[in-house]
């Protein structure tokens, strides 16, 4: 049986040494892990300024939100944190990668 070339060496060497029962447990675990990572992010863990939108996620996982943000310039009025002074709203996708929640810019509402 040919192994995927992207498989890390420790897995490529270790998996064939496992018995069938252990391989089935690994299979079940990997399936559950993929399902967990692909599910939308629970809105309870999103930033307060994030407003989930009913927009399909082009990546197929995560949660797309409208969010106002600060630009990082301390002299800008957005630095106050007052939502009225913040920039946006912009669309961001929140998703999980290796167990960590991450976000990426998607665009301006109406530009998707």
pLDDT in tens, the chain (112 residues): 788 888 899 998 999 999 999 999 999 999 998 887 777 777 777 877 788 886 555 555 678 889 888 888 888 888 887 878 888 889 998 888 877 888 889 888 875 5
63/83 same-domain check:
yes
| 32 burial type by CB count under 10 A (0-12 exposed, 13-18 middle, 19+ buried) | exposed
The boundaries of the domain holding residue 25 are: 9-38
31/61 same-domain check:
no
Give the strands of the sheet with 100-107, arranged side by side.
50-52, 63-69, 87-97, 100-107
60/101 same-domain check:
yes
| Confidence (pTM) | 0.59
Q: For residue 3, is it within any domain?
A: no
CA angle 106, 108, 112 (to 5 degrees): 65
The total number of structural domains in the chain stands at 2
């Amino acid at each position: 049986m040919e192994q995927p070339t992207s498989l890390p060496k420790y897995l490529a060497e270790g998996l064939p040494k496992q018995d069938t029962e252990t391989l089935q447990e690994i299979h079940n675990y990997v399936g559950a892990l993929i399902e967990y990572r692909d599910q939308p992010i629970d809105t309870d863990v999103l930033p307060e300024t994030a407003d989930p939108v009913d927009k399909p996620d082009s990546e197929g996982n995560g949660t797309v939100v409208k969010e106002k943000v600060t630009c990082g310039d301390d002299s800008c009025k957005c630095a106050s944190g007052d939502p009225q002074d913040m920039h946006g709203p912009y669309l961001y996708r929140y998703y999980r990668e290796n167990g960590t929640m991450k976000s990426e810019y998607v665009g301006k509402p109406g530009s998707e």
